[in-house]
Amino acid sequence: MIKFEHVTKEFKTKDSSLEALKDVNFEINEGEIFGIIGFSGAGKSTLVRCINLLEIPTEGSVFFEGTDITTLSEKKLRRIRQGIGMIFQQFNLLSQRTVISNICYPLEIAGVKKKKAREKALELLELVDLSDKANAFPAQLSGGQKQRVAIARALATNPKVLLCDEATSALDPITTRSILELLKKINEELKVTIVVITHEMKVVEQICDRVAVMSEGVVEEIGAVKDVFLNPKSVTAKRLMIPESQEIEDVSGKKTIRIAFDGQSSFEPVISNLTIECNTLINILGAKTENIGGKAYGQMLIELPDDEEATKKIKKYLDGKGIHYEEDGAHE
């Protein structure tokens, strides 16, 4: 549905230039929730803004439903943009308008009659569970409610694609989860393709089908979330999995194993059982795990014992439990 073909974006000033995107090539399929993840400055927001040409690539092509939109006239591009909704971290609601008036705004611009626009806005308010806030002003809403209004407004023109640029970064964890559940509901019920820009792996884990990992304008790896999660190939992906790994690098001469939990029961004492069955003490160097619906998701880094036989027992135990792991070698 969306295709990047040799996309490069360079920002120039009087004295210098910055290449924000470097020869980006990949496709986003219709109907999927696609994540683009990376640390600050990776080029994520620049890339997503190339989808609707808010940023025009310096080189390369961006295809939307088979059409190279970089070649279109302004009039034809406006028509394409009506099919691409966008939400942001800071909500961007009009403070002097009520909730329902904010949602009607893009319909007014599109020339939709007031009665029809209001009917559409009320439908969307019900979809985002804010029917009782139609006449409230943005200042009277919580952060999560503001983002729900922004989502409803983005859906007003019946877009085929919804772009979410760090849409949950300003929200607390509970509100973040509820917004992500809403996005998943929109994807399933309205069949809207969703592109999620984030620096948080937990956001990708919760709702995305596939993910692209970016660093310094380059897409370092791309694949199904589970594949990237279980077997990250790039340094950036590994750092996103276990942010604590930077501290772990200070431990010299230690062999480690990175364990990935991708849906085991949260109530199963994996490490305790490993210690008992292998008759060896386990040193946990770092961990980042979450309980989602009674299932464990996350990463753990453990130090391997010097005894080779004990190490073999640990690997055999993990293999027997079907737990994915990767030996990281010695930290120098």
Question: How high does pLDDT run on average in the chain?
Answer: 87
Query: Which domain does 107 fall in, by range?
Result: 2-234
Residue pair 280/316 in contact by the 8 Å Cβ criterion: no
- Give yes or no for residue 266 having a pLDDT over 80: no
Higher pLDDT, 60 or 239: 60
222 and 253 belong to one structural domain: no
Quote the pLDDT of residue 306.
83
CA distance 271 to 269: 6
- Give yes or no for residue 139 having a pLDDT over 90: yes
Q: How far is CA 60 from CA 10, 154, 187, in A?
A: 12, 27, 29
Helices (H) and strands (E) in the chain, counts: 12, 14
Backbone dihedral angles phi then psi of residue 35, each to the nearest 5 degrees: -100, 140
Q: Identify the domain boundary among 234, 254, 279.
A: 234
- Give yes or no for residue 195 having a pLDDT over 90: yes
Give the pLDDT mean for 192-212: 92
213 and 246 belong to one structural domain: no
Q: Identify the domain boundary among 211, 234, 257.
A: 234
Which tokens hold the place of 64? 């939307």
214 and 251 belong to one structural domain: no
Q: Identify the domain boundary among 184, 205, 234.
A: 234
Largest interatomic CA distance in the chain: 76
pLDDT tier at 158, thresholds 50, 70, 90: very high
pLDDT tier at 245, thresholds 50, 70, 90: very low
Region for 261 from its dihedrals, namely left if φ exceeds 0, alpha if ψ lies in -120 to 50, beta otherwise:
beta
Quote the pLDDT of residue 241.
73
CA distance 86 to 74: 19
CATH code, domain carrying 7: 3.40.50.300
CA distance 77 to 309: 64
